[in-house]
Structure 1
């Protein structure tokens, strides 16, 4: 008579993993959302191809700190969290999905244990697929996030308002083509989500297991800090160009029939950005991106580990 299957530990259940991932992401965003806003503003800054909103192109250029200070002074300190409702909506879909999908692929499909060191290509590959799935589902919320984050700047420059809240942003995107309107710019968003997740979750998992299996160290918060900073750097470096392309594609204007008025697609966005502003345009906003990715990864992973351990688990 075969033995009954072992009971799945509480913190290993997929809905629990999903919930921990979302909770940890919101802890990180509570601190890092202003830098995400600054990153979005800097990526649009000097966007020569966008001739429809010329005031955005010709507006005085600012660095990261001046952008953050300018938002607080000109729009109000509370505006540093503009678009936060869309950020919450995004992570409730994107991060919960990618964390759970990564675990499923690594442990259920490929049969690696939680504590087993996986080859780097396995970790990065699982991260790519998990990020692509999560970002595909979360793209509508990302569209709303980008548009809401740019509204304060548009108002200061005297441009017509487009959206005022999360509901209005969803409605506006829907009116530009129904379900397809909610997925305008999905391709660069998915590429970005895949690359960032590969660098974030894949690199964190690999680095943590590599250190634990190579040296005689304990699974402490110091280890979580070191590995999370490494994963944040990898995520920022590999994801920056796709992040710029995604932001510009999601922010661009569309006709009443849903046709794009600035960029024809991903490659067109890359060509126009590089031709008009140089190759480094693909790394615009990199400093706030890493300032966000580094601390974001730090807070996310430390929070994830502590939340899971508080629920009786052993951590990632």
Structure 2
């Protein structure tokens, strides 16, 4: 049940944050391996990017990649939050007074994030390639011309085999490990501090809302460089052997970005990334809190019913 609760929380959050993910992906691919001023700028900022996408590809394009994105949320957060909750259930996260130990939360957040990323990597691969595809006038990065989720999955499998669907999985595991650890550890510690000190207690979920914003900021800053690298690796074309035509791996990608675009390129798309992470993290963790409370209430009710019987 813990795994299902985590997955459903991710799906609920993913639907609302997906348009910002589309914008973030396009901005991270814009000017790929080109120096500043040496490439066309189709997406100047978030409002301009949304206007440009809608103008050329229609309003529905802001939800490109939604199907694999929601499946990704179900799988990744189901595994991630499920493992994290199990660690909490077995007493690995808290001290003798019941407070979350930051380093323990950080560790299990990283481990659970890496596990979730491994299972969700094929969905992220397909999602990235679907989000990057656009009208020729505003195209950035490699254009894969997939017609949809099933078509893209089948096409990748036919071209590169089963292993091709997990191309870049190791990088995705590092990315999610960083993001998960920073997000969930900051959220847990901040929320408990607010609850203990009677801060933001105006409503039942106010502390969860505020703590999740702290988690979103921390995650965005920590995650963005690796997120840029993974967007590039996932979206690049591959040769007949399934090897990337632009980058051979994480270090090669980082080196080429630094050389061609400069260190600031690692924070391309940070604004839409935050605007995606903020509502996504808030909705994810608040939904998670609500669903856990409903789960606990249902389990308590079942126990009471069994006792009376």
The TM-score range, normalised by the shorter chain, is: 0.7 to 0.9
What secondary structure, in the 3-state scheme, does the structure 2 residue paired with 1:242 have?
helix
Q: Distance in 2 between matches of 1:115 and 1:224?
A: 20
Residues 1:189 and 2:172 aligned together: yes
Residues 94-141 of structure 1: CA distance to partner in whole angstroms, max 9, x if unpaired? Answer: 110000011122332627489921221111111000000000110000
| Unmatched segments (≥5 aa) in structure 2 | 299-309
User: Counterpart in 2 of 1:121?
Assistant: 103
User: Counterpart in 1 of 2:231?
Assistant: 247
User: Counterpart in 2 of 1:52?
Assistant: none
Matches for 1:49-88 after TM superposition, within 5 Å: 58=40, 60-88=42-70
Q: Distance in 1 between matches of 2:93 and 2:144?
A: 51
CA RMSD of aligned residues (A): 2.6
Q: Distance in 2 between matches of 1:68 and 1:182?
A: 29
- Residue pair 1:116, 1:209 contacting (<8 A) in 2 also: no
| Unmatched segments (≥5 aa) in structure 1 | 1-15, 50-55
Cα deviation for residue 211 of structure 1 reads 2.6
Residues 1:171 and 2:159 aligned together: no
- Residue pair 1:224, 1:302 contacting (<8 A) in 2 also: yes
Residues 1:295 and 2:279 aligned together: yes
Q: Higher mean Cα deviation, 79-88 or 150-159?
A: 150-159
Cα deviation for residue 160 of structure 1 reads 6.2
In structure 2, the CA distance between the partners of 1:89 and 1:217, relative to structure 1 (3 Å rule), is closer
User: Counterpart in 2 of 1:259?
Assistant: 243
Q: Distance in 2 between matches of 1:125 and 1:155?
A: 45
Matches for 1:102-141 after TM superposition, within 5 Å: 102-108=84-90, 110=92, 112=94, 116-141=98-123
Cα deviation for residue 263 of structure 1 reads 0.1
Residues 248-278 of structure 1: CA distance to partner in whole angstroms, max 9, x if unpaired? Answer: 0000000122121000110000010111111
Residues 1:25 and 2:10 aligned together: yes
- Residue pair 2:183, 2:218 contacting (<8 A) in 1 also: yes
Cα deviation for residue 156 of structure 1 reads 5.2
User: Counterpart in 2 of 1:13?
Assistant: none
In structure 2, the CA distance between the partners of 1:111 and 1:242, relative to structure 1 (3 Å rule), is closer
- Residue pair 1:143, 1:250 contacting (<8 A) in 2 also: yes
TM-score between the two structures when normalised by the length of structure 1: 0.85
Q: Higher mean Cα deviation, 87-96 or 159-168?
A: 159-168
- Residue pair 2:93, 2:100 contacting (<8 A) in 1 also: no
What secondary structure, in the 3-state scheme, does the structure 2 residue paired with 1:118 have?
coil
In structure 2, the CA distance between the partners of 1:28 and 1:35, relative to structure 1 (3 Å rule), is same
What secondary structure, in the 3-state scheme, does the structure 2 residue paired with 1:253 have?
coil
- Residue pair 2:64, 2:131 contacting (<8 A) in 1 also: yes
